């Protein structure tokens, strides 16, 4: 073999173990005696002339190596022209350049192979460990129902059933004791006092009224809230439903893994699976492409159900692990999305996960999802929630409805909606924020939805991914503002830092219960009324409050409706939140001006705040009344909620006192994006692509306004509701809507 062939062999095909000993400083290759260096291109040519001639070897200089390394990073395969340029610049022969690049590529290949071998070895060790665990489990099987040995034939059928029943009762007793401990704040064993038949009521209910509310009321047996913002304790503790059957955990694990795989793929895939809207905002699902790529993990879609699926991506000022903690805690999850979730409860924890990262945690949950309109029924869903940490700083949380065949006790419990793999992929960007990719995919019965709201839901603007992401971003901005010491634009005369926090908590309670009244969620026991001359689209309900100190005792009447407004969301929001324009629509202002006494910011926008308003008084009693108001606006809509409060109660709150016993009833407005009739299910008529509604475009020329009132009609809980009271609140809604339309038409 001649010299060139020999060096070609050295350049591309020599043993990888030999290449492993190349040195970075000159790519020196040692022989077995470790006495020789690799020859340069000139010396290799000289080797072909005769073996007896003494060879002269030399290494490349550090400067030459640096230049070669730099060029290699940009172009590992230089052509003849590039090699000649390097040869001229570095003072080396062309063949020296060629052989150096051959050796460098071989070294790189060896390093990659070594890295792949390490990964494969780790995977092999992991599989071997799992195999050992399976072998061990097979040698001593355990019954998943009763916890006893799974050895057939050793016990009778009756004994086996008794063991299952015993295990179920033990689990139920443990849950009740744990829940009671949380309520009472002290240990309670299985032989402790029984729980009262009506439980402990800590519901948060608020409202507007003029008959003897406000002040500090210590009556009743409710549990004081004493919550801390952001830790989930502001929410009423919802008692989990006790399982009446043992779930097939292995089947749920398979469904969870399949749903997680689908979520990751849907979050990563773009066109043609997802069709972008105008302006690069929310994306809608190409259903045909989805069916070609995925198969349903929860059975076939009912024929009468409609499909909605959207995706949105954005940054939030919250670390990924903190968001995971909030999503995996039912109370904190509701607190994070108070206008979207009316109730949530963890039914069972099938896997508690690993450490603080919640990796591989698997739960069964119940939830009620809502759009702030009485014309859209609450969506009740039982689903699996699965959390997985995919790598350092990357998590995914997925929800998927439980197949009725796997939960026989609830086949008819939640008939109006089912949740296909939905959730979010969370990736830490830095120490302060994370990137969120949110996917929402549901099938629902649209026959119960009012025709005015059907385009909103079918387009994905009702329960879509952009609404979840916009709410999360607004809540994270609020937390960042609350932690800030210097907040520009605030008017906090006469309020302490602790008072600011207490005032925000009171406003949260007010807003939460306004949403509960508008949507008629199950956190309150409402009785629907159909009496008097009530409009077809107005929902009137009533309930009695006896023990809750957070609202006035007596008979509470709630009325709500949604109407189309031919104005933009921004214009309507600015009009309703402006205290100077309040006399145009609010009968409580008696036509006089309102003044903002306190302004506490909750976001970067001026409209995201909690305010305390004071108006002109007609009599001495009204001189003691103030109006607490919370307003916010984001891409998913806007909200203006208010409630009368008395001065003495707010003085306690503004000095950092407990706001739990401030009795109030909320009223207000929710503004939803308006979708015109030309917006067909989120797609235009021409090409079927998703069209993002625009404020002043042809797609959207207005918005939807929900008006809701909660009023104390009698301070005696046992009193009967009169037809006159129902007609009065119905007239109040009609009059308020007419005043708003008239004011916006004139201005």
Express each pLDDT in 547-597 by its tens digit.
788 888 888 889 999 999 989 999 999 999 998 889 899 876 766 778 888
Residue with more model confidence, 521 or 55: 521
Among 78, 112, 146, give the residue marking a domain's end.
Answer: 112
Q: Is the entire prediction scored with pTM above 0.85? A: no
Collapsing DSSP to helix, strand or coil, 614 comes out as strand
pLDDT tier, 250 (very low <50, low <70, confident <90, very high otherwise):
confident
Least confident among 290-304, 342-356, 487-501: 487-501
Same-domain pairing of 472 and 504: no
Same-domain pairing of 477 and 536: no
What's the longest Cα–Cα distance across the chain? 121
For residue 170, the model assigns a pLDDT of 82
Q: Show the tokens assigned to 653.
A: 């709150």
- The CA distance from 141 to 82, in Å, is 68
Closest CA to 314 of 209, 426, 149: 426
Q: What is the DSSP-derived secondary structure letter of residue 577?
A: H
Domain tally, the chain: 3
Least confident among 175-179, 216-220, 420-424, 718-722: 216-220
Same-domain pairing of 476 and 606: no
Is the pLDDT at 94 greater than 60? The verdict is yes
Whether residue 580 lies inside any domain: the answer is yes
Is the pLDDT at 643 greater than 90? The verdict is yes
For residue 74, the model assigns a pLDDT of 84
Whether residue 705 lies inside any domain: the answer is yes
Average pLDDT on 120-124 reads 89
Whether residue 477 lies inside any domain: the answer is yes
Q: What is the H or E stretch that residue 259 is in?
A: helix 249-268
pLDDT tier, 385 (very low <50, low <70, confident <90, very high otherwise):
very high
Q: What percent of the chain has pLDDT over 70?
A: 71
pLDDT averaged over every residue in the chain: 75
Cis preceding-peptide flag for 272 (omega within 30 of 0): yes
Query: What's the start-to-end Cα distance of the chain, in Å?
Result: 96
Average pLDDT on 39-48 reads 45
For residue 550, the model assigns a pLDDT of 84
Whether residue 125 lies inside any domain: the answer is no
- The CA distance from 124 to 130, in Å, is 10
Residue with more model confidence, 139 or 57: 139
Same-domain pairing of 510 and 473: no
For residue 406, the model assigns a pLDDT of 59
Q: 577 and 232 in contact (C-beta within 8 Å)?
A: no
- The CA distance from 499 to 481, in Å, is 15
Highest mean pLDDT: which range of 30-39, 176-185, 494-503, 522-531: 494-503
- Contacts for 733 with CB less than 8 Å, ≥ 6 apart: 535, 538, 559, 560, 561, 707, 709
Q: What is the H or E stretch that residue 396 is in?
A: strand 394-401
- Contacts for 713 with CB less than 8 Å, ≥ 6 apart: 209, 211, 554, 555, 556, 557, 721, 722, 725, 729
Measured CA angle at 388 (ends 385, 394), to 5 deg: 125
Is the pLDDT at 5 greater than 60? The verdict is no
Average pLDDT on 113-129 reads 88
- The CA distance from 635 to 474, in Å, is 10
Least confident among 246-255, 361-370, 433-442, 468-477: 246-255
- The CA distance from 153 to 166, in Å, is 20
Residue with more model confidence, 498 or 523: 498
pLDDT tier, 479 (very low <50, low <70, confident <90, very high otherwise):
confident
H helices present in 432-494, as ranges: 454-458, 465-483
Same-domain pairing of 447 and 502: no
For residue 15, the model assigns a pLDDT of 43
For residue 494, the model assigns a pLDDT of 65
Is the pLDDT at 214 greater than 70? The verdict is no
For residue 329, the model assigns a pLDDT of 93
Collapsing DSSP to helix, strand or coil, 3 comes out as helix
Same-domain pairing of 532 and 397: no
Whether residue 83 lies inside any domain: the answer is yes
Q: Show the tokens assigned to 320.
A: 């990924």
User: How many CA atoms lie less than 13 Å away from 110 in the CB half-sphere?
Assistant: 17
Assign residue 92 the CATH number of its domain: 1.10.10.60
Closest CA to 215 of 625, 739, 735: 625
Measured CA angle at 659 (ends 521, 213), to 5 deg: 75
Whether residue 361 lies inside any domain: the answer is yes
Closest CA to 647 of 627, 617, 619: 627
Same-domain pairing of 420 and 457: yes
Helix 497-519 and helix 647-654: axis angle, to 10°?
120
For residue 420, the model assigns a pLDDT of 93
Is the pLDDT at 401 greater than 50? The verdict is yes
Same-domain pairing of 499 and 453: no
Q: Show the tokens assigned to 216.
A: 């500090």
Among 85, 112, 139, give the residue marking a domain's end.
Answer: 112
For residue 67, the model assigns a pLDDT of 87
For residue 441, the model assigns a pLDDT of 93
Least confident among 319-328, 374-383, 721-730: 721-730
Domain that holds residue 107: 65-112
Whether residue 192 lies inside any domain: the answer is no
Q: What is the DSSP-derived secondary structure letter of residue 11?
A: I
Is the pLDDT at 197 greater than 50? The verdict is no
Q: Show the tokens assigned to 688.
A: 């079927």
Same-domain pairing of 503 and 444: no
Same-domain pairing of 525 and 462: no
pLDDT tier, 630 (very low <50, low <70, confident <90, very high otherwise):
very high
Whether residue 29 lies inside any domain: the answer is no
Same-domain pairing of 473 and 595: no
Assign residue 707 the CATH number of its domain: 3.30.530.20
Q: Show the tokens assigned to 543.
A: 């309930």
CA torsion sign, 182 to 186 to 188 to 193?
negative
Q: 401 and 418 in contact (C-beta within 8 Å)?
A: yes
Strands (E) across 411-523 are located at 417-419, 422-428, 434-445
- Contacts for 170 with CB less than 8 Å, ≥ 6 apart: none
Least confident among 190-194, 401-405, 624-628, 660-664: 190-194
Same-domain pairing of 553 and 474: no
Q: Show the tokens assigned to 596.
A: 């903002």
For residue 680, the model assigns a pLDDT of 44
Number of Cβ atoms within 10 Å of the Cβ of 689: 14
Among 91, 112, 133, give the residue marking a domain's end.
Answer: 112
Closest CA to 364 of 309, 393, 403, 394: 403
Q: 339 and 474 in contact (C-beta within 8 Å)?
A: no
Least confident among 210-224, 440-454, 555-569: 210-224
pLDDT tens for 732-746 read 899 999 999 999 884
Average pLDDT on 678-702 reads 42
């Amino acid at each position: 073999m001649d010299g060139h062939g020999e060096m070609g062999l050295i350049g591309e095909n020599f043993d990888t173990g030999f290449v492993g000993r190349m040195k970075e400083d000159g790519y020196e290759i040692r022989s077995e005696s470790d006495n020789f260096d690799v020859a340069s291109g000139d010396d290799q040519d000289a080797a072909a002339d005769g073996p007896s001639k003494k060879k002269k070897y030399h290494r490349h200089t550090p400067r030459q190596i640096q230049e070669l390394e730099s060029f290699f990073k940009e172009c590992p395969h230089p052509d003849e022209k590039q090699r000649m340029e390097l040869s001229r610049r570095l003072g080396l022969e062309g063949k020296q350049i060629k052989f150096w690049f051959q050796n460098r590529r071989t070294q790189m290949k060896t390093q990659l192979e070594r890295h792949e071998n390490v990964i494969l070895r780790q995977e092999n060790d992991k599989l071997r460990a799992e195999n050992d665990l399976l072998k061990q489990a097979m040698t001593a099987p355990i019954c998943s129902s009763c916890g006893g040995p799974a050895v057939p034939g050793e016990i009778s059928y009756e004994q086996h059933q008794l063991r299952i029943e015993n295990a179920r009762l033990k689990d139920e007793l443990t849950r009740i004791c744990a829940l009671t401990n949380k309520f009472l704040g002290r240990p309670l064993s299985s032989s402790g006092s029984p729980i009262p038949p009506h439980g402990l009521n800590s519901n948060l209910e608020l409202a507007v009224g003029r008959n003897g509310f406000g002040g500090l009321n210590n009556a009743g047996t409710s549990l004081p809230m004493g919550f801390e913002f952001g830790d989930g304790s502001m929410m009423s503790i919802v008692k989990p439903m006790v399982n009446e059957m043992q779930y097939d955990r292995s089947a749920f694990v398979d469904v969870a893994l399949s749903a997680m795989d689908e979520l990751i793929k849907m979050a990563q895939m773009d066109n043609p699976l997802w069709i972008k809207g105008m302006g690069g905002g929310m994306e809608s699902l190409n259903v045909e492409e989805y069916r070609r790529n995925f198969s349903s993990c929860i059975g076939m879609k009912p024929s009468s159900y409609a499909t909605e699926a959207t995706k949105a991506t954005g940054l939030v000022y919250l670390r990924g692990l903190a968001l995971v903690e909030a999503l995996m805690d039912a109370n904190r999850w509701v607190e994070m999305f108070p206008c979207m979730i009316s109730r949530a409860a963890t039914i069972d924890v099938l896997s508690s996960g690993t450490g603080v990262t919640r990796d591989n945690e698997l739960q069964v949950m119940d939830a009620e999802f809502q759009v702030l309109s009485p014309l859209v029924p609450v969506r009740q869903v039982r689903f699996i929630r699965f959390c997985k940490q995919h790598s350092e700083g990357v998590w995914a949380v997925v929800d998927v409805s439980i197949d009725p065949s796997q939960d026989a006790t609830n086949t008819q419990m939640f008939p109006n909606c089912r949740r296909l793999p939905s959730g979010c992929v969370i990736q830490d960007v830095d120490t302060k924020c994370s990137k969120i990719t949110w996917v929402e995919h549901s099938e629902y019965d649209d026959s119960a939805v009012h025709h005015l709201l059907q385009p909103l839901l079918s387009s994905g603007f009702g329960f879509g991914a952009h609404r979840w992401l916009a709410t999360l971003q607004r809540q994270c901005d609020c937390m960042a503002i609350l932690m800030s010491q210097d907040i520009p634009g605030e008017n906090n005369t006469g309020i302490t830092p602790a008072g600011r926090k207490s005032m925000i908590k009171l406003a949260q309670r007010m807003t939460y219960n306004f949403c509960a009244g508008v949507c008629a969620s199950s956190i309150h026991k409402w009785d629907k009324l159909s009496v008097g001359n009530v409009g077809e689209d107005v929902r009137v309900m009533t309930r009695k409050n006896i023990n809750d100190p957070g609202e006035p005792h007596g008979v509470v009447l709630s009325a709500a409706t949604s109407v189309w407004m031919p104005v933009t969301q921004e214009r309507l929001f600015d009009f309703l939140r402006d205290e100077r324009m309040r006399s145009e629509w609010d009968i409580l202002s008696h036509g006089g001006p309102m003044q903002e006494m306190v302004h506490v910011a909750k976001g970067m926008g001026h409209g995201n705040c909690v305010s305390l308003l004071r108006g002109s008084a007609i009599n001495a009693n009204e001189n003691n009344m103030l109006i607490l108001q919370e307003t916010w606006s984001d891409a998913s809509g806007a909200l203006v909620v208010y409630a009368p409060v008395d001065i003495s109660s707010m003085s306690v709150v503004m000095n950092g006192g407990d706001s739990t016993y401030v009795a109030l009833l909320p009223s207000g407005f929710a503004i939803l994006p308006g979708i015109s009739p030309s917006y067909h299910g989120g797609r235009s008529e021409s090409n079927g692509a998703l069209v993002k509604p625009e404020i002043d475009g042809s797609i959207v020329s207005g918005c939807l306004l929900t008006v809701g009132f909660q009023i104390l009609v009698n301070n005696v809980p046992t009193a009967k509701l009169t037809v006159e009271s129902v007609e009065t609140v119905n007239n109040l809604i009609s009059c308020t809507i007419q005043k708003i339309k008239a004011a916006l038409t004139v201005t």
